[in-house]
């Protein structure tokens, strides 16, 4: 057994974990980030004491993003055999070296690593000075005996794997190196060794060892009191201002001891579970509108700069997120300082996941009781408990932390219970989150019932047990005595997530549903030559494809429709319209709506006809009615639709909530009565000719083969009916029933290889009637239809489709007509849901309006190309070249890509434009859901009806 495989060797000379702080007095802190000498060895066995041929490397960094080894993305599977505590014999090593200066040799000198993967051997001036594992935990070494005044040499030997790697099987790229800050602290003899601050019951108490002069300041920086204490001080605070995520009020304690100055911020906050299982913060029931955050950057891997962290947290706040679960390890300490300052509730998770035990024998199984699991083994207890202890002790002073988590996806065994017991003894009353305890029935080992990716609704066909795992089933079962927390839900992979509102609806209705965290914050990729890459792009031994690209924001932190959907689902203001009364409800917990400006606008056919600005005094959880009769009285009629928009903005002009209501005003058509157009027939085609247009309809194909406007051809290929969409990541299960694929030619309806059959195509006056069917290759027809085209002298064509879908056919991706038109038609306007893409179950954020766009602007570059760019409820779509579609709320899509080409591309650089503007006029498009990891798409969002009636018109405007 090697040193780093021996479970007795978790740490050597590492100091007991203390709370995070950095003394501020001059000379105390020397950041050692920067350029270091580096040498990479394929195998630790080859490491020699004297190294020649150094490279240079930036610290912090991950060596895989710098070309030493290829990145490796694996989710559940370990990237090596499951034979704990042993790791592969050829264990790569990175040797890091640099000089550092010790000015005051009379002081104590410490070296602190905030994060090293997977373990670090520390050498000072050639002497072994310590060892630590636990990648995302802090390691502090007292190197005083090894240093001398002046220049010293620090060498760190970092191994790719150690026994601790078995506890770090999180779903991410497996990176190595010194990936967080490393620094030296020079501290006087007799300095404080730890500080614990508690703000409770009108008092702020600090515990420390030694004597200190402590000054308390309020949130405005005013000195409240100074005290000197031995081993602790306590300040009475009259009428304390409480900390919460909406109003993050912090008090500051300044400790002066032995010549050192240390500042720690604290906040008053109480967290408890109410009798109705609500989560009560400072006496107020709060809903956790959360997200799971991994530290991820497409260029630096696990290392996020301070600016990047700040940007993530600010972006979260702007999306109405109030909670972050630090999945699945403690973040850099500065992350938590920012959560305190900006106001985010934190579920602090320690660095622990052993998910890969479920696949250690073929298949996937939670045989949690099996003694193979390290959670059940005595020799692993120390490794488990110290991970809880180190996380807690480092982060114990943060007011933002509301719950402590033992880790993720690790089964549940005695070692987890030891962690829980340790925590409960260390801080009685602190809420414990232990996801697998809930999953596996050890309910009293955690304070919340935490599950992931449940279905929303209960189901008659389910057993009691299964129903209890649905949101509705759990909430309506009186036997349940714990709050429901979804540690993961709304899997945000690719185009998605949809169906988020349904969860929030239950959350507001049931006190015991305290909220959840979207999985996850940002896509994980490694960008190479401008192309975001994922699992399988690096010849990994085992990988999980693009399952790492499941962020609600992209790898470069751009928003997508899914981000905006979550923002809308989480928004803290609702408004319902009843006649002329608008009832506005404040869903904030601690904020009066008077802090926001409300703009009401009445829009008719996309034009603003009336506006009003308001500031409303509405206390948290209260409602207020606003009579909007005068405002909406300004619109008496419209052609396409009239709406009342309510937009709430904060003092920076950022929209925090938006609500739209359709107004019931009469729709007037300005169109003159139309005259039927006589058609002429040739052997193969039917021709409709009029002023400025000629349509040619193929009897063979049952579609248009030519649409000419003033002699100019508009089509690049015949129009057709189709049902295919490039599968989204959330279609990854259902697509097996939809498509023909190389690996499976039996399970699908083969919608991606459809034959169109025309049985009959006849003309009667101005009308063409087609009867036909669609069938996937090798399958029976799945859709039989009659399509009727009526032509008028003004060039308009009324299209109606009436058909039936085969009873035993799977629900359809979509159904509609495809028009492939000239590139010159790329600019267009539409009256419908926009401006971003939206789908039946992902449009809470979208709004009806008149929008201008182009085929290029409609593109959404998901890491893996897929269906995108849809607009629901479209009433009119008009291209700049005169091709215009009107209808009663069809779905439309305008793209530079053909959906079959989109389906084939694995990365953005593989995607080829097909030289056309690809227009879809759809009866319906199935919703999005989050079935990439979450439940199947709700029935109501599936295009599953068997009888289809669809109508729209199109025409060519005159030049």
Radius of gyration of the chain (CA): 32
**CA-CA-CA-CA dihedral for 902, 903, 909, 912, to nearest 10:** -40
By rule CB under 6 A, what string of x and - marks binding of each residue 157-196 to ligand IPT? --------------x-------------------------
Min separation Cβ 488 and ligand IPT, Å: 6
Question: Which residue's CB is nearer to ligand IPT, number 437 or number 644?
Answer: 437
Distance CA 803, CA 796 (A): 23
Question: Which residue's CB is nearer to ligand IPT, number 408 or number 752?
Answer: 408
Min separation Cβ 172 and ligand IPT, Å: 8
Q: Tokens 């027809």 — which residue?
A: 781
What is the phi/psi pair of residue 65, to 5°?
-85, -5
| Interface of this chain with ligand IPT, residues 313 to 332, rule: CB under 6 A | none
Question: Which residue's CB is nearer to ligand IPT, number 883 or number 933?
Answer: 933
Min separation Cβ 932 and ligand IPT, Å: 8
**CA-CA-CA-CA dihedral for 344, 348, 354, 359, to nearest 10:** -20
Min separation Cβ 677 and ligand IPT, Å: 56
Question: Which residue's CB is nearer to ligand IPT, number 587 or number 933?
Answer: 933
Is 291 a residue that touches ligand IPT (CB under 6 A)? no
Q: Which tokens hold the place of 689? A: 């000719």
Is it true that the peptide bond before 835 is cis, omega within 30 degrees of 0?
yes
Question: Which residue's CB is nearer to ligand IPT, number 349 or number 696?
Answer: 349
What is the phi/psi pair of residue 306, to 5°?
-60, -40
Is 488 a residue that touches ligand IPT (CB under 6 A)? yes
* Short-list 29, 21, 18, CA closest to 255: 21
Distance CA 14, CA 6 (A): 17
Strand order in the sheet with 513-518: 432-433, 401-405, 345-349, 323-325, 288-292, 513-518, 484-489, 449-452
Min separation Cβ 487 and ligand IPT, Å: 8
- Residue 371: burial class (beta carbons within 10 Å; 0-12, 13-18, 19+): exposed
Question: Which residue's CB is nearer to ligand IPT, number 114 or number 171?
Answer: 171
- Please identify which residue in 550, 729, 731, 794 interacts with ligand IPT, judged by CB under 6 A: 550
Min separation Cβ 432 and ligand IPT, Å: 18
Close Cβ partners of 164 (under 8 Å, ≥ 6 residues apart): 10, 118, 119, 133, 134, 135, 383
Question: Which residue's CB is nearer to ligand IPT, number 118 or number 408?
Answer: 408
Q: How many CB atoms lie within 10 A of CB 225?
A: 13
Nearest 5°: CA angle at 562, between 887 and 291? 155
Is 75 a residue that touches ligand IPT (CB under 6 A)? yes
Min separation Cβ 817 and ligand IPT, Å: 36
Min separation Cβ 486 and ligand IPT, Å: 12
| Interface of this chain with ligand IPT, residues 665 to 684, rule: CB under 6 A | none
Distance CA 697, CA 522 (A): 48
- Residues in contact with ligand IPT, counted by CB under 6 A, come to a total of 11
Min separation Cβ 75 and ligand IPT, Å: 5
| Interface of this chain with ligand IPT, residues 907 to 936, rule: CB under 6 A | 933
Is 438 a residue that touches ligand IPT (CB under 6 A)? no
Distance CA 830, CA 651 (A): 32
Min separation Cβ 352 and ligand IPT, Å: 12
Q: Residue 200 in 3-state DSSP? A: strand
Min separation Cβ 933 and ligand IPT, Å: 5
Is 386 a residue that touches ligand IPT (CB under 6 A)? no
Distance CA 47, CA 246 (A): 52
Q: Which tokens hold the place of 462? A: 């389910």
Min separation Cβ 7 and ligand IPT, Å: 25
- Please identify which residue in 38, 453, 819, 941 interacts with ligand IPT, judged by CB under 6 A: 453
Is 763 a residue that touches ligand IPT (CB under 6 A)? no
Is 547 a residue that touches ligand IPT (CB under 6 A)? yes
Min separation Cβ 76 and ligand IPT, Å: 7
Exposure string of 852-876, with b = 16+ CB inside 10 Å and e = fewer, is: ebebeebbbebbbbbbbbbbbbbbb
Min separation Cβ 387 and ligand IPT, Å: 17
Question: Which residue's CB is nearer to ligand IPT, number 408 or number 796?
Answer: 408
Is 409 a residue that touches ligand IPT (CB under 6 A)? yes
Is 950 a residue that touches ligand IPT (CB under 6 A)? no
3-class secondary structure for 520-557? CCECCCEEECCEEECCCCCCCCCCCCCCCCCCCECCCC
Distance CA 349, CA 331 (A): 9
Is 357 a residue that touches ligand IPT (CB under 6 A)? no
Q: Which residue is nearest to ligand IPT (CB)?
A: 171
Question: Which residue's CB is nearer to ligand IPT, number 547 or number 845?
Answer: 547
Is 257 a residue that touches ligand IPT (CB under 6 A)? no
By rule CB under 6 A, what string of x and - marks binding of each residue 491-520 to ligand IPT? ----------------------------x-
Q: Tokens 């004491």 — which residue?
A: 49
Q: Tokens 């495809």 — which residue?
A: 818
Is 715 a residue that touches ligand IPT (CB under 6 A)? no
Question: Which residue's CB is nearer to ligand IPT, number 327 or number 918?
Answer: 327
Min separation Cβ 408 and ligand IPT, Å: 5
Min separation Cβ 296 and ligand IPT, Å: 12
Q: Which tokens hold the place of 526? A: 């490694």
Question: Which residue's CB is nearer to ligand IPT, number 364 or number 539?
Answer: 364
Distance CA 488, CA 492 (A): 10
Is 452 a residue that touches ligand IPT (CB under 6 A)? yes
Question: Which residue's CB is nearer to ligand IPT, number 547 or number 954?
Answer: 547
Question: Which residue's CB is nearer to ligand IPT, number 472 or number 550?
Answer: 550
| Interface of this chain with ligand IPT, residues 100 to 159, rule: CB under 6 A | none
726 within 8 A of 899, measured Cβ to Cβ: yes
Q: Tokens 């509108």 — which residue?
A: 289
DSSP state of 937: P
Min separation Cβ 514 and ligand IPT, Å: 19
Min separation Cβ 813 and ligand IPT, Å: 23
Distance CA 662, CA 570 (A): 22
- Please identify which residue in 152, 408, 467, 826 interacts with ligand IPT, judged by CB under 6 A: 408
Is 859 a residue that touches ligand IPT (CB under 6 A)? no
Question: Which residue's CB is nearer to ligand IPT, number 409 or number 472?
Answer: 409
Question: Which residue's CB is nearer to ligand IPT, number 278 or number 493?
Answer: 493
Question: Which residue's CB is nearer to ligand IPT, number 14 or number 355?
Answer: 355
DSSP state of 315: H
Question: Which residue's CB is nearer to ligand IPT, number 356 or number 702?
Answer: 356
* Short-list 458, 460, 396, 397, CA closest to 422: 396
Is 410 a residue that touches ligand IPT (CB under 6 A)? no
What CA–CA distances, in Å, run from 938 to 465, 481, 499, 930? 20, 28, 8, 10
268 within 8 A of 241, measured Cβ to Cβ: yes
Residues of this chain that interact with ligand IPT (CB under 6 A) are 75, 171, 408-409, 452-453, 488, 519, 547, 550, 933
């Amino acid at each position: 057994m090697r040193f780093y495989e021996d479970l007795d060797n978790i740490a050597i000379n590492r100091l007991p974990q203390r709370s995070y702080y950095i003394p501020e007095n001059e000379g105390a802190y020397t950041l050692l980030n920067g350029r270091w000498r580096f040498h990479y060895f394929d195998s630790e066995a080859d490491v020699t004491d004297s190294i020649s041929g150094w490279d240079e490397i930036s610290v912090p960094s991950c060596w895989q993003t710098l070309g030493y080894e290829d990145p490796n993305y694996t989710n559940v599977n370990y990237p090596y055999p499951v034979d704990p505590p042993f790791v592969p014999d050829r264990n790569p090593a990175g040797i890091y070296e640099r000089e550092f200066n010790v000015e005051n040799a009379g002081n104590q000198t410490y070296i602190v690593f905030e994060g090293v993967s997977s373990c670090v051997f520390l050498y000072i001036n050639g002497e072994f000075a310590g060892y630590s594992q636990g990648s995302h935990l802090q390691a502090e070494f007292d190197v005083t005996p090894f240093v001398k005044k002046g220049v010293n040499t620090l060498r760190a030997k970092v191994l790719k794997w150690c026994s601790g790697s078995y506890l770090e099987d999180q779903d991410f790229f497996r990176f190595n190196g010194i990936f967080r800050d490393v620094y030296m602290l020079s501290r006087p003899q007799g300095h404080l060794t730890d500080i614990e601050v508690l703000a409770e019951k009108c008092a702020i108490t600090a515990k420390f060892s030694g004597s200190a002069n402590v000054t308390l300041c309020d949130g405005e920086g005013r000195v409240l009191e100074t005290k000197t204490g031995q081993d602790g001080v306590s300040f009475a605070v009259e009428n304390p201002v409480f900390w919460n995520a909406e109003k993050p009020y912090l008090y500051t304690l300044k400790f002066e001891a032995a010549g050192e100055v240390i500042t720690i911020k604290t906040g008053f906050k109480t967290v408890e579970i109410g009798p109705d299982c609500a989560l009560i913060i400072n006496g107020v029931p709060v809903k956790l509108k959360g997200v799971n955050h991994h530290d991820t950057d497409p260029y630096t891997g696990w290392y996020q700069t301070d600016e990047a962290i700040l940007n993530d947290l600010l972006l979260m706040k702007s999306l109405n997120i109030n909670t972050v679960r630090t999945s699945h390890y403690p973040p850099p300490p500065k992350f938590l300082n920012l959560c305190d300052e900006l106001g985010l509730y934190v579920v602090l998770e320690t660095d622990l996941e052993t998910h890969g035990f479920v696949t250690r024998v073929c298949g996937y199984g939670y045989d949690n009781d099996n003694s193979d699991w390290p959670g059940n083994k005595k020799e692993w207890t120390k490794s488990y408990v110290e991970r809880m202890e180190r996380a807690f002790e480092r982060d114990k002073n943060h007011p933002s932390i509301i719950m402590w988590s033992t880790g993720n996806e690790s089964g549940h065994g005695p070692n987890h219970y030891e962690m829980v017991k340790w925590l409960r003894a260390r801080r009685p009353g602190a809420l414990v989150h232990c996801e697998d305890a809930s999953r596996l029935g050890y309910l009293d080992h955690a304070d919340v019932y935490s599950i992931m990716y449940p279905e929303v609704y209960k189901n008659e066909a389910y057993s009691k047990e299964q129903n209890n795992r649905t949101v509705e089933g759990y909430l309506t079962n009186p036997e349940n005595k714990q709050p429901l927390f979804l540690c993961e839900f709304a899997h945000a992979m690719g185009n998605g997530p949809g169906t988020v509102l349904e969860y929030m609806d239950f959350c507001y209705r049931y006190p015991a549903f305290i909220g959840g965290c979207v999985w996850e914050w940002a896509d994980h990729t490694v960008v190479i030559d401008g192309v975001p890459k994922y699992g399988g792009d690096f010849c990994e031994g085992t990988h999980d494809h693009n399952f790492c690209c499941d962020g609600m924001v992209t790898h470069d932190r751009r928003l997508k429709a899914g981000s905006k959907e979550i923002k809308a689902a989480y928004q803290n203001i609702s408004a319902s319209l009843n006649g002329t009364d608008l009832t506005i409800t404040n869903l904030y917990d601690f904020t009066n709506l008077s802090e926001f400006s409300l703009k009401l606008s009445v829009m008719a056919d996309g034009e603003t006809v009336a506006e009003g600005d308001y500031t409303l005094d509405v206390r948290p959880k209260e409602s207020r009615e606003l009579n909007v009769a005068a405002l909406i009285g300004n619109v008496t009629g419209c052609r396409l639709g009239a709406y009342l928009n309510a937009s709430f903005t904060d003092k920076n002009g950022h929209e925090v909530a938006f609500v739209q209501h359709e107004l019931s005003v009469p729709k007037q058509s300005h169109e003159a009565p139309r005259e039927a157009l006589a058609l002429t027939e040739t052997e193969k085609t039917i021709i409709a000719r009029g002023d400025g247009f000629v349509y040619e309809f193929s009897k063979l194909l049952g579609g248009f083969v030519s649409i000419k406007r003033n002699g100019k051809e508009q089509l690049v290929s015949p129009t057709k009916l189709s049902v295919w969409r490039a599968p989204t990541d959330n279609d990854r299960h259902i697509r097996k029933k939809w498509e023909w694929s190389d690996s499976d030619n039996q399970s699908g309806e083969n919608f991606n290889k459809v034959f169109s059959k025309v049985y009959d195509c006849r003309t009667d006056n101005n009308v063409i009637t087609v009867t036909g069917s669609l069938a996937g290759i090798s399958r029976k027809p799945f859709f039989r239809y009659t399509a009727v085209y009526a032509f008028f002298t003004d060039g308009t064509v009324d299209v109606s489709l009436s058909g039936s879908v085969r009873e035993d056919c799977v629900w359809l991706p979509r159904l509609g007509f495809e028009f492939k038109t000239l590139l010159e038609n790329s600019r267009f306007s539409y009256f419908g849901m926009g401006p971003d893409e939206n789908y039946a179950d992902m449009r809470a954020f979208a709004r009806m309006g008149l929008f201008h766009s182009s085929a290029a602007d409609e593109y959404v570059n998901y890491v893996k190309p897929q269906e995108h760019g849809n607009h629901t409820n479209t009433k009119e779509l008009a291209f700049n070249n005169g091709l215009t579609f009107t209808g009663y709320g069809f779905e439309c899509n305008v793209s530079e890509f053909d959906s079959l080409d989109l389906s084939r591309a694995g990365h953005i650089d593989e995607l080829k434009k097909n030289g056309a503007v690809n227009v879809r006029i759809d009866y319906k498009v199935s919703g999005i859901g989050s079935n990439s990891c979450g439940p199947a798409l709700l029935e109501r969002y599936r295009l599953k009806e068997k009888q289809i009636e669809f109508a729209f018109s199109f025409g060519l405007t005159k030049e």
